[in-house]
Amino acid sequence: AGGRPLQGRHVLVTSGPTHEPIDPVRYIANRSSGAQGTAIAAALRDLGANVTFITGPATMPPPAGVTVIAVETAAQMMTAVTAALPADAAVMAAAVADWHVANAGAQKMKKDGSGRAPALDFAENPDILATVSRAADRPRLVVGFAAETENVIDHASAKRLRKGCDWILANDVSPATGIMGGSENAVTLITADGAEDWPRMGKAEVARRLAARIAEALT
Ligand code: C5P
């Protein structure tokens, strides 16, 4: 298929952070910019894929030429992902919040003059990657990410098995690496066959290499 090996293939990409409401005007978030997920969606599009890009409130604009589904919470992302299946492949690059606020207020919380602060109760969010990996209409190839700060390969290999995905792109996000929020990434691709270290490169180049591998795997 020349330069468009993913022509006619449907690929799902999740990206960005999620926001978990505390009340109608406040939320809990994380520092994901959506840069790596956005680059992956663009690289898959460039290989001809039909990309559904399911994104939390990222600071980066979504790429052109993909179907964008904007969500806020992990629960909404899960619903959107499930609704977007079937797909030939799924790449879960979103930084999904592990918990949501179970006692979020229906109205803006107010100071009551007592000097006591409110207590938030947290409940676990669904694991989208694990759910998709075990879905009846599971994509042929499911790729997850693992941001680790120690024992990167051991932790990521265990995560691959626990979540039931095919590949994990693992990276070391220790502050010294400068990767979190930076423009470069240094990843290890973990598959059933083992671990493959990629040299440190720009996030766009990581995305192009991953998209090429996905195209190979789907051929
Ligand atoms: O368990 P951990 O959050 O480190 O796993 C990271 C991988 O799992 C990423 O691919 C992320 O997109 C995915 N994930 C998910 N749903 C969650 C938590 C993580 O899809 N609730």
Runs of H (alpha helix) within the chain:
35-46, 74-84, 128-133, 152-163, 203-218
Instruction: Specify if 110 maps to a domain.
Output: no
Ligand 1: centre distance to CA 111 (Å): 35
**CATH number of the domain within which 63 lies:** 3.40.50.10300
- 144 CA closest ligand 1 atom index: 10
| Phi, then psi, of 74 in degrees rounded to 5 | -60, -40
Catalytic residues: 30
Instruction: Specify if 201 maps to a domain.
Output: yes
How far apart CA 155 and CA 141 sit, in angstroms, is 21
- As for ligand 1, residues whose beta carbon falls within 6 Å of it are 14, 74, 92-94, 96, 125, 127-129, 144-146
Instruction: Specify if 1 maps to a domain.
Output: no
> With a cut of 0.90, is the ipTM above it?
yes
Instruction: Specify if 52 maps to a domain.
Output: yes
Taking only the tens of pLDDT, the chain with its 219 residues reads 568 999 999 999 999 999 999 999 999 999 899 999 999 999 999 999 999 999 999 999 999 999 999 999 999 999 999 999 999 999 999 999 999 999 999 999 999 999 999 999 999 999 999 999 999 999 999 999 999 989 999 999 999 999 999 999 998 888 888 777 778 888 999 999 999 999 999 999 999 999 999 999 999
Q: Is 175 annotated as a binding residue?
A: no
